[in-house]
């Protein structure tokens, strides 16, 4: 029998949403790994496969899919309560990851704020490294962490995705007008 931390006990669940395909690797007790939004199901599946997931039915799949679809449709708090089962890591990393869940939807916090919350006020850079290794993005909202000067800083999905997620959640204003598309030379 596989242990709760065994990769073979992880089931892949992928949701199609208006923002793209997002997935999770479910253990017996919660989400062990998650993806950001991808353009294709294959990309989300490939990322989950690298975590050791197996295809298979899970009784929580419909709930997870519904939560991801609700989040992508603008219900920023949709992912807040589903259980997360963090992989083994150093205690400091675990503390940082758990603290991410304390950041309310529609708000942001700095790396320094997290450092103070975990009792290491001088460890902002170490917090940044731990946030960068977050195995459960969206569910542990690392996109809500910004620089001390209010700027958007590093994010595994790129700064455009970070901006889009913060706009979706209401932490940043949405642009009034979409950027005009640039036509390629010779096309009309």
One DSSP character per residue, the chain reads: ---TT-GGG-EEEEEEETTEEEEEEE-SSSEEEE---BSSHHHHHHHHHTTT-B----TTHHHHHHHHHHHHTT-TTTTSSS-B-PPS--HHHHHHHHHHTTS-TT--EEHHHHHHHTT-TT-HHHHHHHHHT-SSTTTS-GGGEE-TTS-----TT-HHHHHHHHHHHTSSPPPSSPPPPPPPTT--
Torsion of CA 105, 111, 117, 123, to 10 degrees: 160
- Alpha-carbon dihedral of residues 59, 21, 128, 148, nearest 10 degrees? -120
Taking only the tens place, the pLDDT of each residue in 82-93 is 999 999 999 999
Q: What is the pLDDT of residue 154?
A: 87
Domains of the chain: 7-72 (3.30.160), 91-169 (1.10.10.10)
* Residues forming a β-bridge with 34: 24
Categorize the per-residue pLDDT at 33 as very low, low, confident or very high, splitting at 50, 70 and 90. Answer: very high
Tokens of 77: 């708090």
Mean of the per-residue pLDDT values of the chain: 89
**pTM for the predicted model, two decimal places:** 0.86
| Res. 8 pLDDT band, cuts 50 70 90 | low
Per-residue pLDDT, 2: 41
Does the active-site annotation cover 51? no
Query: Which of the pair, 161 or 57, is modelled with greater confidence?
Result: 161
Residue of 138, 142, 166, 171 with catalytic role: 142
């Amino acid at each position: 029998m596989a242990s709760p931390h065994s990769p073979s006990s992880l089931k892949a669940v992928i949701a199609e949403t208006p923002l793209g395909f997002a997935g999770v690797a479910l253990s017996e007790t919660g989400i062990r790994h998650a993806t950001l939004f991808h353009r294709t199901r294959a990309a989300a599946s490939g990322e989950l496969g690298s975590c050791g997931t197996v295809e298979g039915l899970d009784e929580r799949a419909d709930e997870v899919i519904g939560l991801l679809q609700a989040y992508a449709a603008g219900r920023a708090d949709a992912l807040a309560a589903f259980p997360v089962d963090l992989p083994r890591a150093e205690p400091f990393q675990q503390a940082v990851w758990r603290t991410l869940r304390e950041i309310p939807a529609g708000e942001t916090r700095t790396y320094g704020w997290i450092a103070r919350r975990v009792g290491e006020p001088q460890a902002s850079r170490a917090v940044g490294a731990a946030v960068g290794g977050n195995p459960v993005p969206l569910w542990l909202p690392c996109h809500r962490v910004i620089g001390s000067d209010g700027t958007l800083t590093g994010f595994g999905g790129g700064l455009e995705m970070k901006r889009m997620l913060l706009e979706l959640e209401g932490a940043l204003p949405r642009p009034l007008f979409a950027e005009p598309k640039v036509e390629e030379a010779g096309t009309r």
